[in-house]
Amino acid sequence: MTERRQVCLDVAQAEGRLTSVVGAVFDRYGVVWAGASGDCPGVHGQYRIGSITKTFTAVLVMQARDAGLLSLDDQVGRHLGDVGYAEVPLRQLLSHTSGMQSEPAGPWWERSRGGDFARLVVANDGSGRVARSGEYYHYSNLGYAMLGEVLARVTGRPWRSLVSQVLLGPLGMSRTSYLPRPNAQAGWSVDHFTGVRTLEPLTDTGAMAPAGQLWSTVEDLVLWGQFLAGARPDLLDPSTLHEMSTPVMDDYGLGLRLTANAGGILVGHNGSMPGFLGSLFVDPGSGIGAAVLANATTGINTERLAIDLIDGDFTDDVPAPWRPTVTVPPEVEGLPGLWFWGNTAVELRWHNEGLDLRALATPEREPWRFALREGRLVGVAGYHRGETLHVHRRDDGTIGYLECATFVYTRTPYDPDAPIPGGHPRR
Phi, psi of 379 (to 5 degrees): -65, 130
Are 386 and 248 contained in the same domain? no
User: Beta partners for 346?
Assistant: 339, 359
pLDDT at 249: 87
Domain count of the fold of the chain: 2
Mean pLDDT on 334-353:
96
Q: What's the mean pLDDT when you consider all of the chain?
A: 93
Are 81 and 176 contained in the same domain? yes
pLDDT at 423: 43
- Long-range contacts (CB closer than 8 Å, 24 or more residues apart) made by 345-353: 346/409, 347/192, 347/193, 348/193, 349/192, 349/193, 349/194, 349/195, 350/193, 350/194, 350/195, 350/325, 351/17, 351/195, 351/322, 352/195, 352/320, 352/322, 352/323, 353/323
Q: Please state, for a pLDDT cut of 70, what percent of the chain lies above it.
A: 97
At residue 422, does pLDDT exceed 80?
Answer: no
Q: What is the pLDDT of residues 33-89, one digit of tens each?
A: 999 999 987 788 999 999 999 999 999 999 999 999 999 999 999 999 999 999 999
At residue 425, does pLDDT exceed 50?
Answer: no
Q: Is the dihedral of CA 120, 123, 124, 129 positive or negative?
A: negative
Residue 322 lies in a domain: no
Residue 426 lies in a domain: no
Confidence band for 322, pLDDT divided at 50, 70 and 90: very high
pTM over 0.85: yes
SS3 readout for 134-172:
CCCCCCCHHHHHHHHHHHHHHHCCCHHHHHHHHHHHHHC
pLDDT at 77: 97
Q: What distance in Å separates the CA atoms of residue 16 and residue 109, rounded to the nearest whole number?
A: 25
Q: Determine whether 293 is exposed, middle or buried from the number of CB atoms within 10 Å of its CB (0-12, 13-18, 19+).
A: buried
Are 372 and 223 contained in the same domain? no
At residue 363, does pLDDT exceed 90?
Answer: no
Residue 49 lies in a domain: yes
Q: What distance in Å separates the CA atoms of residue 282 and residue 268, rounded to the nearest whole number?
A: 6
Are 294 and 342 contained in the same domain? no
Order the strands of the 289-294 sheet from edge to edge.
30-38, 20-27, 289-294, 276-282, 264-273, 257-261
Contact (Cβ atoms closer than 8 angstroms) between residue 25 and residue 5: yes
Residue (of 138, 142, 161) closest to 151 by Cα position: 161
pLDDT at 184: 96
105: Cα within 13 Å, side-chain hemisphere: 12
Are 218 and 342 contained in the same domain? no
Q: What is the pLDDT of residues 129-150, one digit of tens each?
A: 999 999 999 999 999 999 999 9
Mean pLDDT on 124-133:
94
Are 269 and 343 contained in the same domain? no
Q: Determine whether 410 is exposed, middle or buried from the number of CB atoms within 10 Å of its CB (0-12, 13-18, 19+).
A: buried
Residue 380 lies in a domain: yes
For every residue of 163-204, DSSP letters joined together read IIIIIIHHHT-TT-BSSPPTTPPPPEEE-TTT-BEEEPP---
Domain of residue 73, CATH code: 3.40.710.10
Residue 306 lies in a domain: no
Q: What is the pLDDT of residues 300-319, one digit of tens each?
A: 999 999 999 998 667 777 88
pLDDT at 311: 82
Task: DSSP letter for 38, please.
Answer: E
pLDDT at 165: 98
Lowest-confidence segment of 189-193, 244-248, 413-417 by average pLDDT:
413-417
Q: What is the pLDDT of residues 206-228, one digit of tens each?
A: 999 999 999 999 999 999 999 99
Mean pLDDT on 393-406:
92
Q: Domain limits at 402?
A: 337-409
Determine how many CB atoms are found less than 10 A away from the CB of residue 198. Answer: 12
Residue 43 lies in a domain: yes
Residue 209 lies in a domain: yes
Are 149 and 289 contained in the same domain? yes
Contact (Cβ atoms closer than 8 angstroms) between residue 18 and residue 300: yes
Contact (Cβ atoms closer than 8 angstroms) between residue 13 and residue 20: yes
Are 351 and 253 contained in the same domain? no
Are 28 and 129 contained in the same domain? yes
Q: What distance in Å separates the CA atoms of residue 69 and residue 274, rounded to the nearest whole number?
A: 35
Q: Please state, for a pLDDT cut of 90, what percent of the chain lies above it.
A: 87
pLDDT at 106: 81
Residue 286 lies in a domain: yes
Mean pLDDT on 112-130:
92
At residue 242, does pLDDT exceed 50?
Answer: yes
Are 293 and 344 contained in the same domain? no
Q: What distance in Å separates the CA atoms of residue 24 and residue 280, rounded to the nearest whole number?
A: 10
Q: Which residue type does 112 have?
A: S
Are 362 and 280 contained in the same domain? no
Query: How wide is the angle at C-alpha 268 spanned by C-alphas 262 and 270, nearest 5°?
Result: 100
Q: What is the pLDDT of residues 192-207, one digit of tens each?
A: 999 999 999 999 999 9
Task: DSSP letter for 385, please.
Answer: B
pLDDT at 1: 38
Are 22 and 123 contained in the same domain? yes
Q: Distance between the two ends of the chain, CA-based, in angstroms? A: 59
